[in-house]
Amino acid sequence: MTTDPNRVLAYLARERPSLELSTVDLCFVAALHLRANVTSTSSFQEDQLVDVFEEVVRVLEPTGEPQGKRASAAIRRLREQRLLARVDGAGVVRAGEFALTRLAAAIVEFFLEEESLTRETLAVLMRTLLTSLADIAAAAASAQTPEDWRLGVATPLRVIIGDLAGGVERRQRGFDLHQVELQKEIGALLGAEWFGAIERSQALLETTSATLRELNQVLMKDTQEAHARLQDVLDRAAAVEPGEVDDGAREGIAEAESAVKEAGDQLDRIAAWGSARQRAWSDHYQYVHRYLRDVVRLDPSRMLTQRLRDQLTGKSGRPFALTIAAAPAIRLLRPLVTPPEERPPVRRPRKEREAEPAVVAALDAQAVLTEKVRAALSEGASTLRDVTDRLTSNLPESERFLAAGRVAETVAALCRPDAGAERPWVPLSAGIAIEEWSVPGSGKGSAA
């Protein structure tokens, strides 16, 4: 069967198996198991089943109703749940013969057989396992054919080593259960006998500690040896040259290597159990010892609990509070961080920022120029150069040329300049030159 958890779960989901066992059913199965052991029989006739069931009911329910129909129903339930199987194959020809299944045997064994790990059982199991491993390593050393690898190495590893290691693991689980019960037992002992339980509790603690220590020692030593034997098998498999064997043998070797890995993992789990349980038990051991020393021995009459209970409920004493140190932490100053400036709050504008358009007089540039020229003339400018200088000296250089032309035009419009036949060119600032005019009304007179 596959070990892939997804496939296993899918299979179980498809098959929808379930178990529902009442105490009567469980006792019925247990009684069949015990009867089979006592009488050394492997199967039961139908009337034998009914007899056993009636016995069970008589024990469990002395005043119960007639059991005829109940026995049939119980047998049907067990068959439906695959705890009981018909083994004769005769069908309707005659009454059937039934046997308990492996599932029923496992359930009964869980309840009836104490299979806890002890030093003796572990030593026997591990010795057997090591002997079997030695045989397997010898088989691997002489293996030649695919069958040698498969039947001499892979299969024994899976079956014999797997079963032996599984037996150890099963007993380990039994030991775990036993340990849980022991922890409860110590608690119950102390609860019942208090001071009188100290010796017994200590003895239980010491016994379990010693057992765990011994088990762990055996596990550490023997699993190490087992790993060495498995390594021998692996070394032998690795030593086989690829050209030395055919494809079939290579498959057998690969199968053996896979079985070695599985066995190694199982041994690792077994060894890890020992150290994990010893650690966990060590904590419990220390706690219980401390409890015995600090609580039980110091309060032999067990008055403390009652007095504390009275204190808690306020029946005795006055309320109080424990004092504890509470030194403030050292104050570490942080670097100054300037808080960000506060932004002005968002407001609605109170009035329209866009002013209404108003009718204004258009600006007449020529009229302005005319006024300026007129003013310059009246101030005594006698030549065109003089007038032009006054009006363009403050303008940017790029505008002066254009302005000089307009000034000349305006001067000509306002007065009648004198222009001789020879009109000298005179320089202005910014590299401009103009014809010189004499403007009337001036002493010198010049013409553009």
Partner 1 sequence: MSAPRYDRLEDVVLDDLFPEVDLALRRGRHVDRDDADLYAFITDAQDQLEAFFRRYGCELVHRSEGYFYLLPTSDRLGRRHLSSTEMLVGQALTLLYLDPTTTENGGVISREQLLSHLAGVMGTDALVRAMSPKRKKVDQRVAEEATRTKVAEAVRRLASLGFVELLEDGATRLRPALMRFAEPVRGTAAPEAALERLVASGEVVLTDDGDEPGEANDLDDSSEGDERGDLDDSSEGDERGDLAEEPEEAR
329 interacts with partner 1 by CB under 8 A: yes
Residue 108: how many CB atoms within 10 A of its CB? 21
Collapsed DSSP state (helix, strand, coil) of residue 366: helix
Stretch that binds partner 1, among 74-82, 187-195, 370-378, 396-404 (CB under 8 A): 187-195
287 interacts with partner 1 by CB under 8 A: yes
Min dist. Cβ of residue 353 to partner 1 (A): 48
Min dist. Cβ of residue 300 to partner 1 (A): 12
312 interacts with partner 1 by CB under 8 A: yes
334 interacts with partner 1 by CB under 8 A: no
Strands (E) across 230-312 are located at none
Rounded to whole angstroms, how far apart are CA atoms 287 and 279? Answer: 13
Stretch that binds partner 1, among 1-9, 106-114, 162-170, 327-335 (CB under 8 A): 327-335
Residue 292: how many CB atoms within 10 A of its CB? 20
207 interacts with partner 1 by CB under 8 A: no
Q: Candidates 93, 106, 325, 337: give the one binding partner 1 (CB under 8 A).
A: 325
297 interacts with partner 1 by CB under 8 A: no
Q: Which long-range contacts (CB under 8 A, 24 or more apart) does 176-181 make?
A: 176/277, 177/116, 178/114, 178/116, 179/208, 179/277, 179/281
Min dist. Cβ of residue 263 to partner 1 (A): 34
Nearer to partner 1, 298 or 363 (CB): 298
Q: Which long-range contacts (CB under 8 A, 24 or more apart) does 192-199 make?
A: 194/296, 194/300, 194/302, 195/296, 195/297, 195/300, 195/301, 195/302, 197/296, 198/292, 198/296, 198/297
Min dist. Cβ of residue 177 to partner 1 (A): 14
Min dist. Cβ of residue 332 to partner 1 (A): 9
- Distances in whole angstroms, Cα of residue 81 to Cα of each of 33, 43, 241, 267: 16, 18, 52, 34
- Distances in whole angstroms, Cα of residue 283 to Cα of each of 116, 200, 287, 304: 22, 19, 6, 25
206 interacts with partner 1 by CB under 8 A: no
284 interacts with partner 1 by CB under 8 A: yes
- Assess contact for 278 and 212: CB atoms under 8 A: yes
Q: Candidates 50, 107, 186, 219: give the one binding partner 1 (CB under 8 A).
A: 186
58 interacts with partner 1 by CB under 8 A: no
Would you tell me which residues interact with partner 1 (CB under 8 A)? 183-184, 186-191, 194, 283-284, 287-288, 290-291, 294-295, 298-299, 304-305, 307-313, 316-329, 331
